[in-house]
Amino acid sequence: MLAIADAVKQETTLAVHMLQSIGVDVVLSTGDNRSTVARAIATHVGINKVFAEVLPSHKVAKVQELLHKGKKVTMVEDDGVNDAPALAQADMGIAIGTSTDVAIEAADIILIRNGWLDVVAGIHLSKRTIRRIRISLVLALIYKLAGIPIMAGSWFLS
pLDDT tens for residues 7-53? 677 888 898 999 999 888 898 888 777 667 788 888 888 888 888 88
pLDDT tens for residues 41-99? 888 888 888 888 888 888 889 889 999 999 988 888 876 667 888 888 888 888 887 66
* Contact residues for 87 (Cβ-Cβ < 8 A; gap 6+): 75, 77, 93, 94, 95, 103, 106, 107
DSSP 9: P
Is 134's pLDDT higher than 90? Answer: yes
* Contact residues for 25 (Cβ-Cβ < 8 A; gap 6+): 49, 71
